[in-house]
């Protein structure tokens, strides 16, 4: 009987020890209960960012052969809508040869795009989806500090527009337009350009043969720079200058590829004969009474201005 009681006592002690052991495992070392929080799923998907399909197109208009000015327009579209488009800006770029900096056609090897819009951070859309920028193609050297050389008549150039996004958490992405070619065609079907055009476009648009070799007026040969000085000189009622202005212009048109016909060629020859060895101001001091040159001047002026492109 006594042994049975002892066995029961041992069993109770063992059970008590096991219970104590269980409590130690279930409690922290500090004696406080370790309450486990539900785990957080850090891989849960975040809300998707706003996606948009964006594009910008380039179009040309308003080319003026007398000033070589061209208006370049852009149109930007996006699935985000006009509000987000209008917060951005446009950069205009032209393709140039990496070595010579001359504008080149689309796809030319060893070339790079250079900005020419000359407007700080870009052309602002100001809430619109379009921009319009007029550029003097023969003044690109000034606009780009020499990074792009001027465009000449007959050049094929390549323009690209880049959309730059505005601020805000949701905006149209930066993207570029397709490369867009443009051919600079100065002459019209009748082929002549007036006194004002040639005077204002030395030497970019002048025929290469005249730029390098000059021209003979009367029996006197002049360099291209001297011809320009004559065109820029006010006539002051001097028949030599009045006639020389139109004679130089007519010869520039012929050198530029126009076929003037027999009557105009005869007038050119007569004008040369009349001026003869007189040296036109400011290169020289040659003078004729305007009554002697009026008829020939009118004939040549009519020929030079027949396309309406004289200034």
HEC string for the chain: CHHHHHHHHHHHHHHHHHHHHHHHHHECCCCCECCCCCCCCCCCCCCCCCCCCEEEEEEEEEEECCCCEEEEEEEEEECCCHHHHCCCEEEEEEEEECCCCCECCCCCCCEEEEECCCCCCCEECCCCCEEEEEEEHHHHHHHCCCCCCCCCCCCEEEEEEEEECCCCCCCCCCEECCCEEEECCCCCCCCCCCHHHHHHCCCCCCCHHHHHHCEEECCEEECHHHHHHHHHCCCCCCHHHHHHHHHHHHHHHHHCCCCCCHHHHHHHHHHHHHHCCCCCCCCCCCCCCHHHHHHHHHHHHHHHCCCCCCC
pLDDT of residue 308: 63
Which residues share a beta bridge with 15?
none
Cα–Cα distance for residue pair 252/261, rounded to 1 Å? 15
Cα–Cα distance for residue pair 80/103, rounded to 1 Å? 35
Q: What is this structure's pTM?
A: 0.49
235 — pLDDT class (breaks 50, 70, 90): very high
Looking at every residue in the chain, the average pLDDT score rounds to: 83
pLDDT of residue 309: 52
pLDDT of residue 237: 96
Question: According to CATH, what is the number of the domain 54-183?
Answer: 2.60.40.10
Share of the chain above pLDDT 70, in %: 80
Q: What is the pLDDT of residues 71-83, one digit of tens each?
A: 999 999 998 888 8
Better-predicted residue by pLDDT, 167 or 14: 167
pLDDT at 47 > cutoff 90? no
308: left (phi over 0), alpha (psi -120 to 50) or beta: left
19 — pLDDT class (breaks 50, 70, 90): very low
pLDDT of residue 225: 96
Q: Where are the domains of the chain?
A: 54-183, 195-304
Is 271:296 a contact under the CB 8 Å cutoff?
yes
Better-predicted residue by pLDDT, 260 or 32: 260
Place of tokens 């891989």: 43
pLDDT of residue 172: 86
Q: What is the pLDDT of residues 99-148, one digit of tens each?
A: 999 999 999 999 999 999 986 789 999 889 999 999 999 899 999 999 99
pLDDT of residue 255: 92
């Amino acid at each position: 009987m006594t042994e049975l009681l002892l066995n029961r006592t041992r069993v109770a002690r063992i059970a008590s020890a096991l219970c104590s052991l269980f409590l130690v495992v279930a409690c922290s070392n500090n004696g406080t209960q370790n309450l486990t929080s539900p785990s957080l799923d850090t891989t849960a998907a975040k809300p998707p960012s706003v996606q948009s399909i964006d594009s910008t197109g380039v179009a040309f208009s308003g080319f003026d052969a007398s000033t070589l000015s061209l208006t370049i327009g852009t149109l930007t579209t996006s699935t985000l809508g006009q509000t987000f488009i209008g917060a951005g800006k446009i950069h205009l770029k032209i393709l140039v040869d990496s070595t010579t900096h001359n504008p080149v056609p689309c796809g030319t090897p060893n070339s790079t795009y250079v900005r020419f819009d000359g407007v700080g951070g870009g052309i602002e859309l100001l809430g619109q989806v379009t921009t319009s920028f007029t550029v003097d193609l023969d003044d690109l050297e000034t606009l780009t500090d020499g990074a792009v050389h001027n465009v000449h008549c007959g050049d094929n150039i390549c323009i690209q527009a880049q959309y730059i996004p505005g601020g805000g958490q949701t905006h149209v992405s930066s993207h570029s337009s397709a490369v867009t070619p443009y051919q600079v065609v100065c002459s019209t079907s009748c082929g002549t350009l007036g006194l004002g055009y040639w005077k204002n476009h030395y030497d970019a648009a002048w025929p290469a043969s005249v730029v390098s070799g000059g021209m003979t007026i009367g029996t006197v040969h002049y360099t291209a720079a001297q011809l320009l000085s004559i065109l820029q000189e006010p006539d002051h009622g001097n028949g030599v200058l009045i006639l020389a202005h139109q004679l130089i212009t007519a010869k520039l048109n012929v050198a530029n590829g126009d076929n003037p016909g027999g009557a105009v060629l005869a007038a050119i020859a007569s004008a040369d004969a009349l001026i003869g060895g007189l040296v036109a101001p400011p290169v020289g001091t040659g003078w004729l009474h305007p009554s002697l040159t009026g008829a020939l001047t009118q004939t040549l002026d009519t020929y030079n201005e027949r396309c309406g492109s004289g200034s």
